[in-house]
A and B are shown apart, each in its own frame.
Chain A
Amino acid sequence: MTEMAGEVRAAAAPVAARPVAGLSKAVAGWLQAAPLAAILLAFLVAPIAMIVVVSFWKATEFSIIPAFSFENYEFLFGSPVTYRVFLATFKYALVTWAATLAIGFTVAYYLAFHIRSQTVQIALFLLCTIPFWTSNIIRMISWIPFLGRNGIANQALIDWGLIDAPLEWLLYSDFAVILAFVHLYTLFMVVPIFNTMMRIDKSLLEAARDNGASGFQTLVHVILPLTKPGIMIGTIFVVTLVMGDFITVRFMSGSQKANVGRLISNDIGLLQYPSAAATAVVLLCTVLIVIGILLRFVNIRKEL
């Protein structure tokens, strides 16, 4: 990658050095940066700025009043519901993260180190992505007939004589929500970890064996540390997706559980845009803080 970047830079250098149509170097530089800057400004900075502005507005049941008021934030931070919901969101994120990491690492490890032929590797990797050809909602809903009170899972367990009555916690519960999250987001963990593992020089594993490391020691002392950046990227994907989700929680909990996303979506449903905006701002800050903390542990720059 770095060699390629070097070549590109080398090829671009003489072009950049030449003044473009008489413009000074500085102006040419700004022009080259302009398209991306414009896109980011229009689709990232402007919407966020708008949300921040609206979060300070006031609202009644039937109108929204431009203002600069901390009312929404005061209400948000004063309500015990907020803390409960944020806590629930963190819980979902943490449990989902742990499960996707365990599954994702195992799958990636198997693909990267146990499959010898690259063709098979790629074929199996594509196989992992097949579920993603359908929509999130469909994959989520397809759990319902499986997990329901008279669903396949309960029927099978009763038929095998393992349980007498249907298990109530299979569907419309935290279990169902987390199961769906894990199902939806494990691939976001597999891909970056697999990518990092593929870059590990195989002779390092031989060197570890030559130095007397057992398979487990190689895993802990060589593979795991070298896979950290991939794990971190996967973690960022999963944590941001889970913390921002609202539809999975609604469907899989049968509207019995809440997370921050649902708080926002409820506010929007009631046309309480300023309140929704304030919650969104707090959520955004929370996620940024979480990512900031994660990035302090691992340097992912070399992966990008």
Chain B
Amino acid sequence: MRTGNDLELVHLTKRYGGTVAVRDLNHVFRNGTYVCLLGPSGCGKSTTLRMIAGHESVSEGGIVLDGQDISALPPARRGTAMMFQSYALFPHLSVRDNVAFSLRMKGTGKPARHKAADEMLELVDMGHLAERLPAQLSGGQQQRVALARALVTKPRVLLLDEPLSALDPFLRIRVRGELKRLQRELGISFIHVTHGQDEALALADEIVVMNDAVIEQAGTARDVFGAPRTEFVARFIGGHNVIELEGARYALRADEVRLAEEGRPATVTIVEYQGDRVAVTARLGPAEVLALVPEAHFFANPKNPGDAVCLDWDEGRLHRLLA
């Protein structure tokens, strides 16, 4: 449902000389949703985010928030706040002063801004480290401080530029849970740029897949994963095979492919044990097809590279690709 608080991109374009980084984007980010901008590096997702934040000028088109075109406003007056990839914490300021920085720039008195900063630090569970310098914090702690610093400005939209990329995989999963919880509690929109499809699937209410300066597909995580529109989306989101049958291209989820007694004959090339399941890659004519087989099912009749197998799937699970 549309509300006045939505963030809308209207024919948004960014050119650097002759190259187009973002081409004619039109999209509505509904208020209070967790959106992931997903795509490979160089697809224009970061540029889009930076244009929304105001750190990159807009070549053409507009950015509308709350019914107002914000594309010419300075970053601090847009109602957005950005969390930077490297966190960009001021190394010479304590955690508290980092969070209170924007209030200090506005001329808020010391007691008031420290109070606001401390409240924000409590929200991200960092109140006990307020006196520390950023260099004395772990990566996860720095990330929380950066989050608190962005949120202290009471933004309507929080922009996160690959916020989890600097964390180790274990911490990443915990932090993304916290991000999601925070977004729900605050009820504001989060726009999160990432190139990790697992991150996007886990977090997003809406996934916007970008490639080559345009949006390839936008929709809920389930829509995008269950019905990729193009070959690019099917491949990038992972877990899909792209198969050519009778001149048309189809996406087929790897977990829908079975190793059966009869079906299409193929040769196993790679077997990877993944714990709960086994990833079997088989050569089917000119194509390679990936089958994710439940572990118990695989070991009932184990295969080795070079073995002949038959691949089978329900014809109804083939999803026709538009491009």
Which chain A residues have a beta carbon within 8 Å of chain B's beta carbons?
201, 203-204, 206-214, 217, 221-222, 225-226
Contact = CB atoms under 8 A, between A and B. Distances in A.
A225 B89 CA distance: 14
Nearest to B74: A209
A211 B92 contact: no
B92 A201 contact: no
Contacts of B92: 225-226
A210 B82 contact: yes
Interface string B309-322: 00000000000000
A210 B106 contact: no
Contact of B153 (A203, A211, A221, A222): A211
B76 A207 contact: no
Most buried by B among A207, A208, A210, A213: A210
Interface string B54-91: 11000000000000000000111100011011101111
B107 to A, nearest CB: 10
Contact of B105 (A203, A206, A217, A225): A217
5 contacts: A201-B88, A204-B90, A210-B82, A212-B106, A226-B92
Contacts of B91: 226
A125 B90 CA distance: 27
Q: Which 8 pairs across A and B sit closest by C-beta, in order of nearness? A: A212-B76, A211-B102, A207-B88, A203-B88, A225-B92, A212-B105, A213-B105, A210-B75
A201 B55 contact: no
B53 interface: yes
Contact of B102 (A203, A206, A212, A226): A212
A211 B101 contact: yes
B144 interface: no
Contacts of A209: 54-55, 74-76
B104 to A, nearest CB: 7
Interface in B177-216: none
Contacts of A211: 76, 101-102, 105, 149, 153
Nearest to A207: B88
A245 to B, nearest CB: 34
A264 B15 CA distance: 65
Contact of B84 (A206, A222, A226): A206
A130 to B, nearest CB: 32
Given A217-B105, A221-B104, A210 B90 contact: no
B55 A212 contact: no
Contacts of A226: 91-92
A207 B90 contact: yes
B105 A210 contact: no
B49 to A, nearest CB: 12
B88 A212 contact: no
Nearest to A203: B88
Nearest to B159: A210
Contacts of A206: 55, 82, 84, 88
A217 B150 CA distance: 18
A212 B73 CA distance: 11
A226 B106 CA distance: 21
B84 A203 contact: yes
A209 B77 CA distance: 10
Contacts of B150: 210
A226 B88 CA distance: 13
B90 A222 contact: yes
A235 to B, nearest CB: 18
A216 to B, nearest CB: 11
Given A209-B55, A213-B105, 7 more contacts: A201-B86, A203-B88, A207-B90, A209-B54, A211-B102, A212-B76, A213-B76
Contacts of B153: 211-212
Contacts of A217: 105
B257 to A, nearest CB: 44
B207 to A, nearest CB: 25
A173 B54 CA distance: 53
Nearest to A224: B92
Contacts of B53: 210
A204 B88 contact: yes
A118 to B, nearest CB: 17
Contacts of B149: 207, 211
Nearest to A202: B88
A210 B76 contact: yes
Contacts of A210: 53-55, 75-76, 81-82, 150
A203 B91 CA distance: 12
B144 to A, nearest CB: 15
Nearest to A225: B92
B146 to A, nearest CB: 9
Contacts of A212: 74-77, 102, 105-106, 153
Interface in B262-293: none
Contacts of B55: 206, 209-210
Contacts of B88: 201, 203-204, 206-207
A200 B74 CA distance: 22
Nearest to B92: A225
B156 to A, nearest CB: 14
Contacts of B102: 211-213
A210 B158 CA distance: 12
A113 to B, nearest CB: 15
A148 B149 CA distance: 59
A6 B106 CA distance: 42
